[in-house]
Amino acid sequence: MELRQLRYFTVVAKLGSISQAAQELHIAQPALTRQIQKLEEDVGVILLERTGRGVKPTDAGTQFLIDAEKLLDDAITARQRAVRASRGECGTLSLALPVIQNAAPSITGLLKRFKKEAPHVGITLHHLISEVQLAMIAQGQLDAGFLLFRPQNDPLFDGVPVFKERMLFAYPAEWTWPENKKPEYLRDLQDLDFIWIPRTAAPAWHDRLIHCFFDAGFTPRSVMQGVDAVSMLTLVSAGMGCTIVAEGTRYLAPPNVAFLQLKDLNLEQEWELVWRKNRCSEVLKRLISMI
C-alpha cells in the first residue's frame, strides 16, 4: 500500500468517477484503474463498486476513505514537521542551569528570543550543579547546559561563551574598618578571616583564584570552607569571615552581607553553553546560532 494509491482512491471515491479522477490526477485512466485494483488486493476487500453512473465506495470503502484521509493528513503533517525539524524549528531541548544561578538576564533573554523564533520547540529547564550537568550531557540525558568550569582539554565537550561576571569582595555588613577606610586591593584583606572553597569543588577555578591572589600579594587566611557561593555567603552572613563571589550571587545574599569591588580583583567567571560534540541536534544548533 502506497500513499499515492491512498490519494488516488480518495479522489475517485469523492468524484464517483474513475475518468474524472484520472483527469484531475493527470494520470491515464487504465493506469488509475490498475492502481485501485492493486490497492484492493493489498487491503483484501472491495473498496469501490460500479454503478450506472460511475463508482461508489462499498461499506468497507466508506470506512477506508475516512482512515485514508487521516493517513494522508498525517503524512502531510509529518513532512511539515520533518522540514521544521531540519531547520531547528520544532522538537525539544533539555537544558540546565547551575543550582545557584537565578535567571541571569543574558540567559533569560536568549531563551526568550529563541522561543519567539522557534515557538514549536519545547524546553525543559533543570537546576543542577556544573559537575552533574557535565555527567548528564556526556550520558545523553541533557542536550546542553549553562555552566562554569568546562574541562578545556576534554574532547567530548564543546561550548560557546554566553556572558561573564566580575568578582566582588563580600563581607559582613556589621564589620567596621580602621579610620573608616574600606579595602581597595586584595592585599588589604591580608589579616581578615577568609571563607574559601575546597579545591575539589572546582579545581580550575580554585587555581585561577590562587594565581590572582598570589599576583596581588595576598595569602588568604582560610578559617572556613563553603562548597558553593550560597554556603559561602551564608557563612559571611553569620559573621564567620569574608569571601570572593561572582557579582550575580549578590542577589541571593542575605541582607546583612555587603559587597565591594576591589581594584586588582580582575578575574571574571565565564559562563558557557556546553554540549556533547557528537550530539548536537538541529534545534540545539539553532539556539547556539543565536548566542
Does 83 have pLDDT greater than 80? no
C-alpha to C-alpha distance for 116 and 48, rounded to whole angstroms: 49
Q: What is the dihedral of CA 127, 133, 136, 142, to 10 degrees?
A: 60
Side-chain half-sphere exposure of 45, counting CA atoms within 13 A = 9
CB 146, CB 284: distance < 8 Å: no
Taking residues 152-160, report their average pLDDT. 90
Question: Does 74 score more than 70 pLDDT?
Answer: yes
Q: What is the pLDDT of residue 245?
A: 93
Question: Would you say 136 and 142 are in contact if contact means Cβ atoms under 8 Å apart?
Answer: yes
Backbone phi, psi, residue 133, to 5°: -55, -50
Give the separation between CA 3 and CA 164, rounded to whole angstroms.
54
Residues sharing a CB contact under 8 Å with residue 61, sequence separation 6 or more, in sequence order: 9, 13, 46, 47, 48, 49
Tell which residue, 236, 242, 241, 240, has the closest CA to residue 254: 236
Domains of the chain and CATH, by start: 3-87 (1.10.10.10), 90-163+270-289 (3.40.190.10), 166-268 (3.40.190.10)
Average pLDDT over residues 155-171: 94
pLDDT for 188 equals 95
Residues 207-229 have a mean pLDDT of 90
Does the pLDDT of residue 89 top 80, yes or no? no
Angle of the 282-289 helix axis to the 105-117 helix axis, nearest 10:
120
Which of 120, 125, 83 minimizes the C-alpha distance to 102? Answer: 125
The pLDDT of residue 88 is 64
Question: What whole-number distance in Å separates Cα of residue 72 and Cα of residue 8?
Answer: 11
pLDDT beyond 60 at 101: no
For residue 178, what is its C-alpha cell? 580602621
Query: How far, in Å, are 10, 18, 44, 63, 73 from residue 67 at the CA level?
Result: 10, 20, 16, 7, 10
Residue 129 CA to residue 131 CA, distance in Å, equals 6
Asked whether the predicted pLDDT for residue 198 surpasses 60, the reply is yes
Q: What is the pLDDT of residue 103?
A: 61
Query: Which residue, 212, 209, 216, is CA-closest to 232?
Result: 209
Q: Residue 57 — φ and ψ, nearest 5°? A: -65, 140
Grid cell in block for residue 203: 579545581
Quote the CA–CA distance of 6 and 14 in Å, as a whole number: 12
Q: Apex CA 102: angle with CA 255 and CA 167, to 5°?
A: 70
Q: What is the pLDDT of residue 106?
A: 86
With a cut of 90, say whether residue 150 has pLDDT above it: no
> Has residue 238 got a pLDDT over 90?
yes
With a cut of 80, say whether residue 86 has pLDDT above it: no
> Which pTM was predicted?
0.66
Q: What is the mean pLDDT of residues 112-141?
A: 90
